Chain A
Amino acid sequence: MSKNKKVTLAKTKKVDFEREIMGKIASGQITMKPRWYFILGSLMMILGLISSTVIATFLINLTAFVLRKKGFGYGKLDMVLANFPIWIPIVAVLGIGLGIFFLRKYDFSYRKNFLVIVIGFIISLIIAGLAIDKLGLNDVWSQRGGMRRFYQNLEGRENLPEGFERMGSQSGRWSRGLPGAK
């Protein structure tokens, strides 16, 4: 491509761009998105980040609580898996993923090393989740308040079939037909 050709093209396009675009603007073919659209977008992003962070933290804390209550018990992994509310860690991971997605949308994220931001974010969530459990808030919430029933369900204290006891003990299910049971 010659240099001259390029200059000519640039000059031609100069006229075209202006005429075409300004024509479309004047005729109303293209219009600016209103300011509220962008404000709403920013608000949604902030809300998304906050809610995904809160949900992920809470669910990490809940995972720690359930593990503490039901235990890892040697040789009881299949029992743990059978009764563990597996949706909790799954939703927690989804919450973390969503949080990272929202973090990526922020301007500062590309100025810094994003991997460090992501690792920092995940570590903070895990620490916060474990800290809530350590502080004993789960025990308080499982004893009283609006979350009591939810916690009791998680612990297996309610809504269990007849003869089905808490995990970790010789449960009804365990003694009623699983291999080796009498």
Chain B
Amino acid sequence: MKDISKLPDEDIVNLVRGKDKELFSLIIKRYQEKLLRYADYLIGDEHKAADVVQESFIKAYINLNGFDVKKKFSSWMYRIVHNAAIDAVNKNKKQIPLSEKTDFDSGVNLEDELIKKELKINAQLCLQQIPVIYREPLTLYFLEEKTYEEIGDILRMPMGTVGTRINRAKILMKKICQKTKK
């Protein structure tokens, strides 16, 4: 069991698909906190986020044979949570959508460290005010520390779009966080 716990996700998935269904608990252990945090940032309600994560684990288990083990399991898992969270957000209609056409000067160079600090101190408050299309990549990049490629896989968008949205999100975040402080 000790060795198995060190295996990469994809190998564990293979074992679960084979016969060792109990090993799915390892997947749950590895991801529950990360996914709960991610869903909470997207939904802004920890109870609903918990429901979303539970539902996502169940969906993942049911569709485990559809996962391509050549790809990254974490991106697949986050994608499931993302879909469920967006459904929950749409149901609640809490967020005010901002037009995708809203443009910002993406040439502005912001210090990532500053953003990280801002996020950690006042993250929930600031994040909830950012439209979900910017909240998603920002959360994944800064809080979940995913690469642009992984974010692209999770959100199903080209890497260029990921970069643009993160830049816009940074600017929005900075503006909103500064306002919140005042």
Interface of A toward B, CB cutoff 8 Å: 1, 6, 9-10, 13-14, 16-18, 20-22, 24-26, 30-35, 37-38, 41, 110-113
Given contacts A1-B46, A110-B156, contact A22 B62 (CB under 8 A): no
Cα–Cα, bound, A25→B25 (Å): 10
When A and B form their complex, what is the total count of cross-chain residue pairs whose Cβ atoms lie within 8 Å?
76
A17 touches B158 (CB 8 A): no
A10 touches B61 (CB 8 A): no
With most chain B CB atoms within 10 A of its CB, the pick from A22, A26, A32 is A32
Interface majority SS (helix, strand, loop, mixed), chain B: helix
B128 to chain A, nearest CB (A): 11
B158 touches A22 (CB 8 A): no
The contact of B65 among A30, A37, A113, by CB within 8 Å, is A37
A21 touches B58 (CB 8 A): yes
Closest 3 interchain pairs by CB? Answer: A110-B156, A38-B66, A35-B65
Contacts A17-B57, A22-B22 given; 5 further ones with Cβ under 8 A?
A10-B36, A16-B50, A110-B156, A110-B157, A112-B158
B61 touches A25 (CB 8 A): yes
Smallest Cβ-Cβ distance to A112: which chain B residue: B158
Segment among B4-12, B26-34, B81-89, B106-114 that sits at the interface with chain A: B26-34
Cα–Cα, bound, A120→B51 (Å): 42
Given contacts A9-B50, A21-B24, A110-B156, contact A14 B64 (CB under 8 A): no
B119 to chain A, nearest CB (A): 13
**Residues of B15-55 whose CB lies within 8 A of A:** 17, 21-22, 24-25, 28-29, 32-33, 36-37, 40, 46, 50, 53-54
**What residues of chain B lie closer than 8 Å to A22, measured between beta carbons?**
22, 24-25, 28
**What residues of chain A lie closer than 8 Å to B66, measured between beta carbons?**
33, 37-38, 41
Whether, in the assembled complex, B152 has its beta carbon less than 8 Å from a beta carbon of chain A, the answer is yes
B25 touches A32 (CB 8 A): no
Given contacts A1-B46, A1-B124, contact A13 B17 (CB under 8 A): no
A-B contact pairs, 30 of them (CB 8 A): A1-B46, A14-B29, A14-B32, A14-B33, A17-B28, A17-B32, A17-B53, A17-B54, A17-B57, A18-B28, A18-B32, A21-B24, A21-B57, A22-B28, A24-B58, A25-B21, A30-B61, A32-B17, A32-B61, A32-B62, A32-B64, A32-B65, A33-B62, A33-B65, A37-B65, A37-B66, A38-B66, A41-B66, A110-B158, A111-B152
The contact of B33 among A10, A30, A32, A34, by CB within 8 Å, is A10
